[in-house]
Amino acid sequence: MKILLTGGCGFIGSAVVRRAIRAGHEIINIDKMTYAASEEALEETGANLRHLLVKADICDLAAMHAAFAAHQPDAVMHLAAESHVDRSIDGPADFVHTNVTGTFLLLEAARTYFATLSGEKRENFRFHHISTDEVFGALEDGDPAFNEYTPYDPRSPYSASKAASDHLARAWMHTYGLPVIVSNTTNNYGKWQFPEKLIPLMLINAIDEKPLPVYGAGVNTRDWLFVDDHAEALLKVLTCGVPGDTYCIGARQPRKNIDVVKAICAIVDEKLPSKAGARERLITYVTDRPGHDHRYEIDPTTAEKELHWEAAHDFERGLRVTAQWYLDNEAWWRGIQAKTYAGQRLGGAKA
């Protein structure tokens, strides 16, 4: 397939690009190249003749129309988004602009292009909108996990903007007939993740023996999915999913934030022993963030049954693979630290 993919230099997008190119697909990679984008994450696929990077903003409607007209894709995978909750609290406007307005304009460009198609090309066209489990709100301990029928209840500017984009995508199918498929996933982790996100930030701070800031008592729970497993699932959704349907993608690997941080400490202690002692000494409890959702967890039964997919990595294995990658690729994240933050502490992300 020839796939127009947005956000392909981001963390999840680049994983999809790598897997898609290696599977024989052709990728038109639309990326604005924000602070979180990395061409290095494309690895050898970035120079592949079946990959074309188009540096453009999904909020530029003329550029989106031009991309569809020039490349005539068979499908769209829409991953481009602002995605960091803490950033959305500090500055929600960028999230509304990119996640809501950007999705609207991309849908309009896709609708215009879809109207020109006929025959098999029209019948097989798909618009796959990739979203998050955070649109469903928060779970308490003992509540059943999110599934495709869970009502929406977003709690942060980020999740509200993604919920709006989900509704737009579905509306464009029901109103205009655009063949839309939606998938919602839980927290991803793995190589090439921007260092302000929870797991890479804790890994890097543990390596550097800096404080490990944990919100509240660290009991907030997340379901963790290895990014390569998610990329495989997304391509399954695109090629096997049914327009109008939703697929919840998860790994059945829920962990409390404090347990994630302690596991990171143990791995880094093993691989890089410190004369100062175990790195759990670096854990620092800080004031909880506004509206911090207690628990996210996805029930992936539908995806497992209908797409014949399941996550290959359990959390312990995936975390060890991830930790080793950050230890082996220090030059990449040191470069980001120096370039993006000019010596300031990364991000503001906490557990």
Catalytic residue set = 133-134, 158
Contact criterion met (CB below 8 Å) for 238 and 3: yes
- Chain Cα centroid distance, residue 87: 15
347: Cβ–Cβ under 8 A, 6 or more apart, which residues?
84, 86, 195, 196, 197, 201
230 vs 59, 145, 225, 234, 247, CA distance in Å? 26, 18, 7, 6, 12
**Nearest CA-CA partner of 110 in 249, 253, 243, 291:** 243
Give the pair of three-digit tokens for residue 126: 């798909």
Sheet arrangement for strand 51-55: 51-55, 26-31, 2-6, 75-78, 126-132, 180-185, 246-249
**Nearest CA-CA partner of 184 in 76, 296, 75:** 296
Query: How many Cα atoms within 13 Å fall on the side-chain side of residue 181?
Result: 24
Residue 112 neighbours by CB distance under 10 Å: 14
